[in-house]
Structure 1
Amino acid sequence: MICTFVVLAVFFVVDLFVIGRKPHVPSTKECVQHIIFFVAMALVFGALLWWVAGSRPAIEFYSGWLTEYSLSIDNLFVFVIIMSNFAVPKQLQKFVLSVGITIALLLRGIFILAGSALIVRFTWVFFIFGAFLLFTAFKLISGGDDDEEYHENGIIRVLRKVMRVSDQYDGKHLRTTLDGVKYFTPMLIVFLAIGTTDVMFAFDSIPAIFGLTKDPFIVFTANIFALLGLQQLYFLLGALLDKLVYLPVGLSVVLAFIGVKLIMEALHGNSLPFLNSGRPIHAIPEIPTWLSLVVIVVAIGAASIASVIKMKQIEAQSTGAQK
């Protein structure tokens, strides 16, 4: 376990301080190479987990990683809006994403530990997690979770009131001097916006992965692998993000499925006096882990394929109209 965290920490340090030491806009080739590498590492990690601990933990990891990765792609919509809202220069966006995602990872670690402790002591919390995921799935499918505009959270609004923040960037610096007065640059606010916003997303993603596995180690590693390569994916997808029209539908199916799974597990392990004379309902079937993986792959895969087909249809219609 310690070895795993050391290796993953090295990945982050290399990505942040070696690859990202020079602010730049990564090329398509660079983005593809990084994404392939991190995806391959996730697949290798799952295979090693299968070899060391058996098929169940490995399938739980793959299911959790795919779910977190898919949700992270959806989160990139908001990252695009944040970068635009704060007018972050193109050459600094990779650096901003690196630091912001690192902040988010640290905060997610705290959230995962708290969630794990809560689940161990109070299994009925699955009712809350399940209901929340069903509500989130409904918002996605109905368009109620549409992030067309970024709204600053309370932490950033407070900081703006108590700190001097300039309107100009000074490279990667957090502090700058204007007319002899020290100011924080917008870079600090952007870091916090990316990090805290990603933690807000964790209220969707962390309950979702706890519906697939109870092991904090798998939950945390799946989150790490989902965040690795996210900045390269941001640049690779770019303008394509708004063309993934059916991704919310696929995500809503996944979240609804996991929400139902959580509620079924809660019913299986908790007593409900008005349903079963105060005894846990052990007759409730448990959804196997392999079925969760199949549902996730099929839902996200079908949504992606449908989006590509839709995009080609729109392009064909646009070309025909121009002729």
Structure 2
Amino acid sequence: MRIGWLESEIGKILEVELTEAEEAIAISDTHLGLKYKGRELSKSRELSEFLEKILGDNNVKLIILLGDIFDFWSAKVGDIIRSAYDPVKVLVGSDKTIVYVAGNHDRIVSWIKLESSRGKGDIYTVPDFFILNVDGRKYLLLHGHQLDALFTRFKGLWKIQSYVYILSESLFSLPGPSEWMLAALSAGSLAFLLASITADNVLQEFILFLVSILLLSPLLVMLWRKLQDRIWYGLLEELNMKLSKSRLRGKSLRHLSVSKPLNRFLRSLESIPQIGRIDGVVLGHTHVPELLVEEGRVYANTGSWIENGHNSTCTFVRITSHMITLGKWDNGRETKIHEASLPGS
């Protein structure tokens, strides 16, 4: 296995190259720590069992964590640690290389760089995507939220949620109800300030505006974290699914909302000389496990490891030099959902 960085017009791009005998496993959307109405949704026990099996497979040299592994969006830090303890404990002793591609729920890990002093078993983190080269075939691996209209319409505004999460968890760590007392005191200070001070010029108005945001932010952040599940899952997501045909969540790879932005993204990347032809795409985000071959290119979705309605869970993608397989971890064993021979193999 060879690991390097491609210098391109859009910056450095991680490229991992596997030999013919080496294999890669990709999983995504484990959402460790995620709860809804007090019920844990992530399949952490099944994930631990699967990782133990994979670490014993000598052919697998690369483990790809394709985003939304930890739910640094709405889950409490304590729940994340409890849910992630066993899977992380399994991975800690591994000598396999891990590439962690940040998703929308865990983008705060994208800046972390981990290298083992032993010179093996390193973890590479990337914010958007990387290129996997398997016996001359190139795969694009990304989480997939980059194609979602709900995110592209608001540009990078969705990234604010990561900072909201960090601030709110800091407040929640305070003893007892003191976080709400602090938020109320801050908001009360703002009310007193606005009642007692009058801005006489543009500069003073600007300063007062910044102070207002600062003093009001604790209360707004606390309220959002308290209500976000009800607002997002109970109202906005359901409404958006009805009104916006371009929403990716729950859509298959054949759906126009997936294929159009994906094809545009592929054309832009293939125009970069250092990348060239892309033979396959592996992504997550939609929670719909799928594998298809169209026009000489392989497309795969890793699915998810959470309770997922009628869709299969505990799914993954295995990549070899001649085959790509969509698999499922079911009752302690690996089963095959679908596989496809790579074009030209």
TM-score range, shorter chain: under 0.3
Bigger radius of gyration: 2
Of Structure 1 and Structure 2, the greater strand share is in 2
- How high is the TM-score relative to the length of structure 1? 0.23
Question: Does 1 or 2 have the higher relative contact order (CA < 8 Å, sep 6+)?
Answer: 1
Of Structure 1 and Structure 2, the greater helix share is in 1
- How high is the TM-score relative to the length of structure 2? 0.22
